[in-house]
Structure 1
Amino acid sequence: MKFLHLLPLCFVASAHAYDFTNADLCKAAVAIDMGRDTSIMKTKNAGEIPVISYTRDDGDSFTYRCKIVGNQIIWSGFIEGQWGRWRDSVEYGDTTFTYRVSNGTLIVHSDMAEAESTYQARDFQ
């Protein structure tokens, strides 16, 4: 007589799994560079090159777009009715932002500040 041994199978889905969007990455880089909180930032246009904006307490509004190249986040500001240059020039002393995701945490590194900032999904909701 053969016995069938059943082993319990457990599939564990991480409660922390979150796919950070390009808009999330953009908000994180701009927040670091401008000294703002991601919670005040709104996504105006999602997608490959997201457009985000925020309004300061004094009523001034700012709009940015970002592109993701590998693990680098590069932003450009909307100034006087047109898009400014991409902030990726060593010549101009632009900050380089790189990112990685570990255990559901977004970690953004700024070479200018030589520091890392961490974000959770709730920081973008």
Structure 2
Amino acid sequence: MSVCVPESEINEELKRKIVQLESFGEQLGKVLQKKYEDVFESQGKQNLRIWVCRDIDGDEKDDLTSEKCFEKEYRSQIVIDFDGPKFEGDEFYAYYIELWYYYGGFFKGSGSGTLYDLSNNDLETEIEEGLKILLNN
């Protein structure tokens, strides 16, 4: 699903890929949210939302963009959530797919990241599989 990115490959080209990946995820989220919202509502799962959620060390901020993707502990995910009963457990959202996570490391040059691998995975299919899992539970 994702590939490890060593510190030596963290550069402006990678940043461009992350920005494009997150933008693609946002577009897919809007399309699939519209496609599935009536099906979710018919099951009592109101207000389906699919979006790219960004946080740094677990703290979501409204003004956080992919431009900050190389800050330590930056993470972006496609998140699916709705009002109504969900899985039991510790998860904050009903379902998510990690797009990018940057671990800055404790020492200079020791960081790495994980990036969703679009060349070997179909993000749209994965989101739809997540939606179907949520519909069947």
TM-score over 0.5 (shorter chain):
no
Greater strand content: 1
- Scaled by the length of structure 2, the TM-score of the pair is 0.26
By relative contact order (CA 8 Å, sep 6+), the higher-ranking structure is 2
- Scaled by the length of structure 1, the TM-score of the pair is 0.28
Greater helix content: 2
Could you say which structure has the larger radius of gyration? 1
